[in-house]
Amino acid sequence: MSTVFKGSFTQQEPIPEAGIEAALRVLRGGRLHRYNVVDGEVAEAALLEEDFAAYTGAKYALAVASGGYAIGCALRALGVQPGDKVLTNGFTLAPVPGAIAAVNAEPVFVEVTEDLTIDLDHLARLVAETDAKVLLLSHMRGHICDMELLMQICDGAGVQVVEDCAHTMGGAWKGVPSGRHGAMAAYSTQTYKHMNSGEGGILTSDNPDLMARAIMLSGSYMLYARHRAAPPPEAFEQVKWVTPNVSGRMDNLRAAILRPQLADLPRQVERWNALYRVVEEGLRNTPGLKVIDRPEEESIVGSSIQFLLPGFAADQIGDVLKRCAARGVDLKWFGGAEPVAFTSRYDSWRYASPQSLPNTDRILSGLMDMRLPLTFSLEDAQLIAGIIAEEVRSTALST
């Protein structure tokens, strides 16, 4: 009888006890709003910003309501205007082009490579052909491109880079933490990301003018002096009069939950990567399946894994999905004709102008995706990889 996996691909670990205790202190005090403090008290949101700036090496950090809000706030801080073209990955998730559309700008999609990173040759052509001055770079599913070459392309053309680090918090390129190359970086603390506050986000930058605008945008009113990982007061003198309040603050309850998770993030990254490597090796050399090799320069966070079925037709992939699901393995496919859950594609986002990305179409037609929650054991990872390999092999050999 075929083995069946009994675990859940959506079950996260509990909030650590230190986070629960911190949350209870906030609840007992009743001061959930980040600016509601008593004399001598520092808000949990302000402390989280300090902690996160120190963790990433950024000068400034801002805790906000969601990762999507962090992206939109960055675009507004950079001065993106209605009708502006903003470059972004053709392979990403809907909140990325959604943030562009939310400021009434126009997404211009860039092809993806078989390594699942942004196609730098196509990016260079689009930089030359369009008047886009901002690249919203999605490190989609944790895959980091050659950041030195990307910044060379963008810096040479005066293109500002916003890094979407929702899937790379804790990752790095050549030892430089993800988010430290561009003008601003947005992180997510939504439940399925690397720290869990249900919803939440963090925005970082080294630029005092950009961060002053972002803090004002987030709804600081005139309480910006209560931010600690923030620019000096003089950075706010001009922007405070002309920056609209687009409220999106993080509250003290979520910040309290997150601070212990941030302290534990390096250990969690090691655990994710151990699961990833077990699944990766279990899939390697499976007929019809292509493992995506990661470059040595990339320090990954293996909270999900992707692989390609490049020679499979749509009905074959559907068969693999059904057979794996029957054995308890939840795979997602980015090549379906209709969006399913979060697996929408660039041609699903009809608020954007129609665009043709033939390489992206080809790659996504065979792209499989799977979460690796830390509730899995290494034995679970081995079992899951074995089930996938068996079902892919069976489908490949039956044709």
pLDDT digits (tens, 9 = 90+) for 92-130: 999 999 999 999 999 999 999 999 999 999 999 999 999
Query: Which of 243, 259, 275 is the C-terminal boundary of a domain?
Result: 259
Are 168 and 304 a contacting pair, CB within 8 Å? Answer: no
| Helix 378-397 × helix 252-283 angle, to 10° | 50
Are 110 and 122 a contacting pair, CB within 8 Å? Answer: yes
Provide the domain limits for residue 313: 265-397
Terminal C-alpha separation, the chain = 23
User: Does residue 94 lie in a domain region?
Assistant: yes
Instruction: Let me know whether 199 and 315 are in one domain.
Output: no
Query: Which of 221, 237, 259 is the C-terminal boundary of a domain?
Result: 259
User: Does residue 2 lie in a domain region?
Assistant: no
Pairing assessment for the beta strands 85-89 and 134-138 based on DSSP bridges: parallel
Contacts of 160 (CB under 8 A, 6+ apart): 78, 133, 134, 135, 154, 182, 183
User: Does residue 227 lie in a domain region?
Assistant: yes
What whole-number distance in Å separates Cα of residue 181 and Cα of residue 153?
Answer: 13
Helix locations, the chain, DSSP H: 17-29, 44-56, 67-77, 95-102, 120-129, 147-157, 208-217, 239-242, 252-283, 314-326, 358-364, 378-397
Are 191 and 166 a contacting pair, CB within 8 Å? Answer: no
Asked if pLDDT for residue 399 goes beyond 70, the answer is: no
Instruction: Let me know whether 82 and 61 are in one domain.
Output: yes
What whole-number distance in Å separates Cα of residue 24 and Cα of residue 129?
Answer: 54
Instruction: Let me know whether 160 and 305 are in one domain.
Output: no
Q: Which two tokens stand for residue 97?
A: 């082009």
Instruction: Let me know whether 30 and 52 are in one domain.
Output: yes
% of the chain exceeding 70 in pLDDT? 99
Instruction: Let me know whether 148 and 41 are in one domain.
Output: yes
Instruction: Let me know whether 103 and 249 are in one domain.
Output: yes
> Whole-prediction pTM value?
0.97
Instruction: Let me know whether 241 and 338 are in one domain.
Output: no
User: Does residue 7 lie in a domain region?
Assistant: no
Instruction: Let me know whether 220 and 114 are in one domain.
Output: yes
pLDDT digits (tens, 9 = 90+) for 185-241: 999 999 999 999 999 999 999 999 999 999 999 999 999 999 999 999 999 999 999
> What is the residue-averaged pLDDT of the chain?
96
User: Does residue 9 lie in a domain region?
Assistant: no
Q: For the chain, what percentages of helix, strand and coil (3-state, to nearest 5) are there?
A: 40, 15, 45
The domain total for the chain is: 2
Instruction: Let me know whether 108 and 246 are in one domain.
Output: yes
CATH at 148:
3.40.640.10
What whole-number distance in Å separates Cα of residue 184 and Cα of residue 15?
Answer: 28
User: Does residue 6 lie in a domain region?
Assistant: no
Query: Which of 208, 234, 259 is the C-terminal boundary of a domain?
Result: 259
